[in-house]
Chains A and B, each alone.
Chain A
Amino acid sequence: MTVKEKLVILGLGAAAFIAVAALFIVVGYVFINGIGVISWEFLLTSPYRFEYGGIFPQIIGSLCLVAVCLLFAVPLGLASAIYLAEYAPDNLITKSVRFFVECLAGIPSIVIGLFGLTFLVYYLDFGICMLSGGLALGFMILPWTIRASEEAIKTVPKGHREASLALGISKWRTIRSVVLKSAYPGIITGILLGLGKAIGETAVVLLTAGSGLEPFLPKSIFDPVASLPVYIYMIGTKGHTSAAYSRTFGASLVLIAMFLMISIFALYLRNRYTRRMSKR
């Protein structure tokens, strides 16, 4: 190999390295600037006077929003995936369902936020609240849950289904006890990746769920609810003191930590699962 060839490879490698470096620089910078403010007091108290205090309601609020979102998106997504993978005939309706799922996946989050604002908040009159925010997040991740679940269901070998059907077990029972049982790690991985998307989403929540600074915990699903991303947005853009900056980095660190834990768990689950599948 000539020197020139080696230089080309080096250049290509450097480009790939930039992508990795971007991840480590961002996470590292947030970590270094945010770790100082992290304490039990920061994690377990409420904010006061805009940029002071902790982020307890924001953490709980984010978790509540994601819970509502999953309660909506997972059953719907799973049902759609089962239908598309196991029942759907190859006709116009199925094709258009797939087309619309693609459409939904492509809609920018801010448009989903606007839709949530007009439909959920004003038209259905839920108001700015946890239910509106969670449902709007649910609209956003629904296509991802459908796709991931369908992929997982499709990897189950045909032989398993046929063996079960040959034993005289009905189709639905086969799906429940054979297909879903071996597809569930893949499904959970997909759901976790969707969850990671939902927990960091700002624009949707900003328009539908609350101002992000609520110092109280929601008492019902019709209460406005604080959330980490909106808190970061508010404090990060409107607070100009060092207290605001360090708290923004602290909250960012908590958000990244939540996201990384979810994603790494999902990637781990997927790797273990694919290894098990390939061993067979």
Chain B
Amino acid sequence: MHFLERVRSFRLKKRDPEISEKIVEKLLFILTLSSILIVLFIIAFMFKEGLPALALGREFFLGMIWYPPNNQFGIVPIVVCSFIVGIGALLIAAIIGIPAAIFLAEYSPDWLRNFIKPCVELLVGIPSIVLGFFGLVVVVGYIRDTSGGYGECIVAGWLILAVMTLPHVISISEDSIRAVPKTYKEASLALGATQSQTITKVLLPNARSGILTAMVLGMGNAIGETMAVLMVIGNPEIPFIPSSVLDPARVLTSTIVIEIPYAVWGSMHEHALFALGVILFIVVAIFNLITTAVIRKGAKER
């Protein structure tokens, strides 16, 4: 081929819009893969750092004493505290959040709903550190004044965490109550059932899976929450399984934040803290997987 012709054909090819389109698509695809890459890196690095402690086996998973100066890393009391704090907070959030969701979905006039909804959305975003400090000054202060002791305790953690999970519980429950077909409700009312009977016998049972999803998601959030809990929960030097709701406690997240500045890099202490991170990651991931599975099932049924 003549040289000039080859140049011309090359330039033609370059102008061909198909190719630049393909390049753009491939580029976007590669950038999209970054999310996968980040998650895989997180998993890999967390396990790499946590492995030496996870490899302790029974001593780590079933050990009752967490005392780094003695190289004792038993996580049982910390995990138990995490669940106690998470479950309690969730119950409080549910007791307030589900009725609130029913009100928003069924009874609230539009103007009131347009006021409450943005407030609930803003509540999600109040920085957890601010909420924690508020809890430290107000809630912990109140408990200290009324019941003595330091005031930093499980109840304080419940209350502050409940405020943090409440918005999630309200939004998801409201959506699932709204998703119950209107005809169900009308049929029930037409049969002469009262409003409250309709709610308890028709709306709530039909919205059950959505509300359970909200609970599971809220549980994941509550256990993974760090700063707010850390500031009000007390964090005793040696974690123990609490015997009263006014006892201080030590949860997974607060242990990591408090001890990581003192842990020597590469020591077993540091590995143990990363192993706590791995456990936290797995627990929260399980909760999230349940949530997405339920949501997906619900979407298929509809």
Contact = CB atoms under 8 A, between A and B. Distances in A.
A binds B: yes
Contact of A172 (B21, B36, B48, B128): B21
- Chain B binding surface, main DSSP class: helix
Interface residues of B, number: 83
Interface of B: 17, 20-21, 24-25, 27-29, 31-36, 38-39, 41-42, 45-46, 48-49, 96-100, 102-104, 107-108, 115-116, 118-123, 125-134, 136-138, 163, 166-167, 170, 194-196, 199, 220, 223-227, 231, 253, 256-257, 260, 265, 273-274, 277, 280-281, 284-285, 287-288, 292
Nearest to A96: B36
B103 A79 contact: no
A18 B100 contact: yes
Contact of B226 (A15, A109, A122, A196): A109
Contact of A122 (B224, B265, B273): B265
A44 interface: no
Contacts of A82: 28
B288 A118 contact: no
Contacts of A170: 17, 21
B31 A80 contact: yes
Contact of B288 (A8, A20, A103, A259): A103
Contacts of A40: none
Given A16-B104, A79-B27, 19 more contacts: A5-B195, A15-B96, A19-B166, A19-B170, A80-B32, A83-B31, A97-B32, A100-B36, A108-B224, A109-B224, A109-B226, A110-B226, A110-B280, A111-B42, A115-B46, A142-B38, A172-B25, A232-B130, A252-B127
A19 B116 contact: yes
A80 B194 CA distance: 50
A12 B107 contact: yes
Given A16-B116, A19-B123, A111-B277, A203 B130 contact: no
A100 B103 CA distance: 35
B129 A233 contact: yes
B134 A172 contact: no
A206 interface: yes
B126 A16 contact: no
Interface residues of A, number: 84
Interface stretch (A24-32, A45-53, A180-188, A215-223): A24-32
By Cβ-Cβ distance, the 5 closest A-B pairs, closest first, are: A200-B127, A108-B224, A15-B99, A12-B103, A106-B288
B43 to A, nearest CB: 9
A84 interface: yes
B256 to A, nearest CB: 6
A226 B107 CA distance: 47
A202 B253 contact: no
Contacts of B225: 108
Given A110-B226, A172-B24, A19 B32 contact: no
Contacts of B285: 103, 106-107
Contact of A76 (B34, B96, B223, B226): B34
A115 B127 contact: no
Given A119-B41, A237-B231, A12 B129 contact: no
